[in-house]
Structure 1
């Protein structure tokens, strides 16, 4: 069963460019650390404070191994530090989803 991590970010609307750089950095880091990155989405029209990221894993165990690799990754550490220093993320929520399969 594939598990997809759905990340909902509340971002500072005046720092959208900083969040976009942060998301762009993850485009290379996440796959290198073992995540199947489905992508990041930025506000375009309407609400300008909500962004999303989706990453899939074969299992929760694979997710936990990925998190360990991410914590040890120098580029990942720099990206986390940039977010903390610039404070463009106001809140972050993670939901773990599984895809609904057709009935047998």
Structure 2
């Protein structure tokens, strides 16, 4: 399993637009075999940072998602929405592998 961690720098005046953008991907990503773990939005005080995490069974599955999503009309609409609204300024993407507790048999 591979988990993608996204850190967004937001335009705080466009938080509603960012929420709409995130809602689109919460529905889109599972179509491509991923599991979305959610978006995490600013809550207390002033903040311009949001986080998101999603997982795929493997890096190859993630790469296939990227390929397929690039030509999917609904994904293209989501990307166009972000460009049009400029709801985030930039983002960083990192990949992780989970370490789960050992189970006793």
- Same fold, judged at TM 0.5 (above): yes
Aligned to 2:68: 69
Distance across 1 between alignment mates of 2:15 and 2:60:
33
Distance, in Å, in 1 between the alignment partners of 2:40 and 2:11 is: 15
How far 1:38 sits from its partner (Å)? 1.0
Superposed CA RMSD in Å reads 1.3
Structure 1 portions without partners, runs of 5+:
none
Name the TM-score, length of structure 1 as normaliser: 0.91
> Aligned-pair distance for 1:47?
4.2
| Displaced runs of 4 or more, over 6 A | none
Q: TM-score under structure 2 normalisation?
A: 0.90
Q: CA–CA distance in 2 between the matches of 1:62 and 1:27?
A: 18
Q: Which runs of 5+ in 2 are unaligned?
A: none
1:7 aligns with 2:3: no
SS of alignment partner, residue 8 of structure 1:
strand
